[in-house]
C-alpha cells in the first residue's frame, strides 16, 4: 500500500524512542559500579589512543527517515524506536503511575549514572507475547506571534509500534497528531488572553495552521526488518544484532561508519559519537548487552555532563546527562538524555536552546526545542487498535 502525506508527516515527526526497562530495583548500586569500572577504564584507554583532530564545523542534527524516506524537522534527529529480535523489553510504566513513583535519592555525576544504567540494562527478561508494542510522544516548539505578544506552543505527535513476533501477524505503525498545547503555564495564560483559538495561523518560517484538537489515527502495516538507521545510514536487524557488546569494540564499530559527518549528522566526531550512541541506547532494537556497552561508551566521551535530578515532559523523575551540539545554522543546543538509574530505563531525550541562531533564534535560551518520550514498552498478546485511516 502507498502511504498518504498525512501519515508520512506524522511518522517523520513521531519518531519513538524505544526503551528496554528492567524490573524496578534500587539495591546493589555500589556493587554495580565496582563490577563495571574495568570495562569503563578500558574504554577510556581506547579513547586516549585517538589521534588529535582538527576542529570541524558543527552541525545540528536533522530527522532521519522511516523505511528509507527522508524528512527534516527543526534540529534534532532520532531513528525509528522499536525493539526487535534478541531484545528483551521490559514494561515501561505509563505517565500517571510514573509521576507517583519515588524520585532518585541523590544526583549522580554522568559517569556514575551511565555505569549504573549499563549494569541494570544488562539484565534480561521474557520476550513472550505476540507483539512488542511501544507508545511514544514527540513535541516541537512553535513560537506564536499574537496581538498581545509572542508565546510558545508544542506541536505534538503520538506513535504506536506493534511489532509482530512471528510471521503469522503483521507489524503496524499507528500515528496521530495529538494537537498543540502551551509549552508552559505562562504560555497557556498568553494563549487564553488571545481568545484560546482552536486553530492558530503560523506564518514563519512557512505558513501553516496549528490545530489544538487531536487529529485522526492513521495506520499502516510495515516491514519491521527495514525500519532502522544507525548514524546516517540504513541498517538491517542482522547488523544491529551483530554489534559488539564490549564498549571499546562498539566504539570502533560505530566509528567505522563515521565519514566526516555532514548532511543530517554532526561533523564533529565526539558529537557524532554521542548522537549515534544515544540512538543505540534509546532508539534501536539492540540486545541488552549492546545497550549496556553503549552506556559505558557514553561514559568515556569528553563533554558529557551530569545534570542531577530532572523531570521529563510528563513529570517522570530521572537523572539527566547532557552534551552540547553546535551548528553554524541553528546555533548551540544542549541535548539531554533522561535516565532512571534504578532501572537503566532511558525515559526520553530533549533538545534545549543555549545560543540559538537562524531558524531557531525564536526559541528562548533554556527552552525546549524538541522532545521525545517513551510512555509504554511492553510485550502483549493483544491486537493492534483500530485506526481511522489505513494508508
pLDDT (tens, 9 = 90+) of the chain, 391 residues, equals: 434 444 444 444 444 333 333 333 333 444 443 444 444 444 443 443 343 333 333 322 323 333 322 232 233 333 333 333 223 233 333 333 334 444 444 557 888 889 888 888 876 555 678 998 888 899 999 999 988 788 999 999 999 989 888 889 999 999 999 999 999 999 999 999 999 999 999 987 788 999 999 999 999 998 877 778 888 788 887 898 899 999 999 999 999 998 877 666 788 889 999 989 998 888 787 888 998 999 999 999 999 999 999 999 999 999 999 999 887 778 899 999 998 888 788 899 999 999 998 888 888 899 999 999 988 877 899 999 999 998 7
User: Hey, what's the cell of 345?
Assistant: 530505563
Asked, for residue 108, whether it belongs to a domain, the answer is yes
Give the pLDDT confidence score for residue 255 in this predicted structure: 93
Angstrom distance (rounded) from CA 337 to CA 349: 5
Asked, for residue 202, whether it belongs to a domain, the answer is no
User: Hey, what's the cell of 220?
Assistant: 499502516
Please tell me what DSSP assigns to residue 275: H
Asked, for residue 186, whether it belongs to a domain, the answer is no
Asked, for residue 352, whether it belongs to a domain, the answer is no
Asked, for residue 208, whether it belongs to a domain, the answer is no
Domain count for the chain:
1
Asked, for residue 319, whether it belongs to a domain, the answer is yes
Closest CA to 47 of 36, 39, 55: 39
Rg, C-alpha atoms of the chain: 20
Asked, for residue 190, whether it belongs to a domain, the answer is no
Residue pair 75/59 in contact by the 8 Å Cβ criterion:
no
pTM given for the model: 0.72
Angstrom distance (rounded) from CA 278 to CA 256: 17
Asked, for residue 125, whether it belongs to a domain, the answer is yes
Give the pLDDT confidence score for residue 375 in this predicted structure: 85
Contacts by 106-109 with C-beta closer than 8 Å and gap 24+? Answer: 107/306, 107/307, 107/308, 107/309, 107/319, 108/306, 108/308, 108/319, 108/341, 109/306
Domain residues for the domain of 339 are 5-137+161-177+215-344+371-390
Contacts by 248-251 with C-beta closer than 8 Å and gap 24+? Answer: 248/42, 248/43, 248/46, 249/293, 250/280, 250/290, 250/293, 250/294, 250/297, 251/43, 251/46, 251/47, 251/297, 251/300
Q: Check whether the bond before 205 is cis (ω within 30° of 0).
A: yes
First to last CA, the chain: 6
Amino acid at each position: 500500500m502507498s502511504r498518504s502525506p498525512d501519515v508520512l508527516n506524522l511518522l517523520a515527526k513521531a519518531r519513538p524512542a524505544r526503551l528496554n526497562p528492567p524490573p524496578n530495583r534500587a539495591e546493589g548500586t555500589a556493587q554495580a559500579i565496582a563490577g563495571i569500572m574495568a570495562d569503563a577504564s578500558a574504554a577510556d584507554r581506547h579513547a586516549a589512543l585517538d589521534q588529535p583532530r582538527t576542529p570541524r564545523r558543527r552541525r545540528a542534527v536533522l530527522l532521519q527517515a522511516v523505511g528509507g524516506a527522508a524528512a527534516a524537522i527543526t534540529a534534532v534527529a532520532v531513528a525509528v524506536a522499536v525493539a526487535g529480535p534478541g531484545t528483551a523489553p521490559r514494561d515501561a510504566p505509563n505517565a500517571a503511575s510514573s509521576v507517583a513513583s519515588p524520585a532518585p535519592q541523590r544526583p549522580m555525576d554522568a559517569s556514575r549514572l551511565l555505569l549504573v544504567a549499563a549494569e541494570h540494562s544488562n539484565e534480561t527478561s521474557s520476550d513472550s507475547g505476540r507483539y512488542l508494542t511501544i507508545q511514544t510522544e514527540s513535541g516541537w516548539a512553535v513560537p506564536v506571534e499574537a496581538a498581545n505578544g509572542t508565546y510558545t506552543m508544542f506541536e505534538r505527535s503520538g506513535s504506536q509500534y506493534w511489532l509482530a513476533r512471528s510471521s503469522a501477524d503483521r507489524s503496524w505503525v499507528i500515528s496521530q497528531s495529538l494537537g498543540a498545547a502551551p509549552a508552559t503555564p505562562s504560555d497557556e495564560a498568553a494563549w487564553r488572553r488571545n481568545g484560546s483559538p482552536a486553530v492558530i495561523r503560523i506564518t514563519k518560517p512557512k505558513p501553516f495552521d496549528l490545530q489544538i484538537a487531536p487529529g485522526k489515527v492513521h495506520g499502516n502495516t510495515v516491514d519491521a526488518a527495514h525500519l532502522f538507521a544507525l548514524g546516517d545510514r540504513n541498517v538491517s536487524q542482522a547488523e544491529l544484532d551483530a554489534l559488539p557488546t564490549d564498549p571499546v569494540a562498539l566504539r570502533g564499530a560505530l566509528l567505522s561508519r563515521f565519514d566526516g559527518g555532514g548532511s543530517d549528522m554532526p561533523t564533529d566526531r565526539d558529537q557524532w559519537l554521542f548522537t549515534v550512541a544515544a540512538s543505540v541506547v534509546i532508539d534501536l532494537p539492540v540486545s541488552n548487552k549492546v545497550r549496556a556497552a553503549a552506556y559505558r561508551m557514553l561514559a568515556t566521551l569528553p563533554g558529557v555532563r551530569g545534570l542531577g535530578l530532572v523531570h521529563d515532559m510528563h513529570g517522570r523523575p530521572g537523572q539527566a546527562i547532557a552534551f552540547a551540539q553546535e551548528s553554524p545554522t541553528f546555533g548551540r543546543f544542549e541535548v539531554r538524555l533522561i535516565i532512571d538509574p534504578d532501572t537503566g530505563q532511558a525515559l526520553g531525550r530533549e533538545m534545549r536552546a543555549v545560543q540559538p541562531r537562524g531558524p531557531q533564534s525564536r526559541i528562548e535560551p533554556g527552552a525546549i526545542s524538541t522532545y521525545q518520550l517513551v510512555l509504554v514498552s511492553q510485550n502483549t498478546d493483544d491486537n493492534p487498535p483500530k485506526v481511522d485511516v489505513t494508508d
